[in-house]
Amino acid sequence: MRRSIEWTEKAEGDRPKITYRVSKEQGSESWETPKMLPSETWDRLVEEVEKRYQRRRARHEDVLLVRSTSAKAPKLP
């Protein structure tokens, strides 16, 4: 991945604004936020990366990385 993927979820009600970041270096992923996230958050992250890919702001490898990590990651209810 050339650059990190960053996505900010807006604050709603009691929940504060959350920023998710992931970068990849030499075959390993580096997450700055916990990998254990709610299913809906993973779905929104996959959507965001796919939108960026359509606008040529993310590479196909980025989309595949987020999809595979989302499929493997434990999810909160």
Question: For the whole model, what pTM was predicted?
Answer: 0.65
For residue 65, count other CB atoms closer than 10 A to its CB. Answer: 18
Containing 76, the helix (H) or strand (E) segment is strand 75-76
37 burial type by CB count under 10 A (0-12 exposed, 13-18 middle, 19+ buried): buried
One pLDDT digit (tens) per residue for the chain, 77 residues: 456 677 787 888 887 888 877 766 666 666 555 567 788 888 888 998 899 899 998 889 888 888 888 888 777 77
Delimit the domains of the chain by residue range: 5-76
Q: Which of 20, 19, 28 is nearest to 1 (CA)?
A: 28
Quick check: 53 and 59 in contact, CB under 8 A? yes
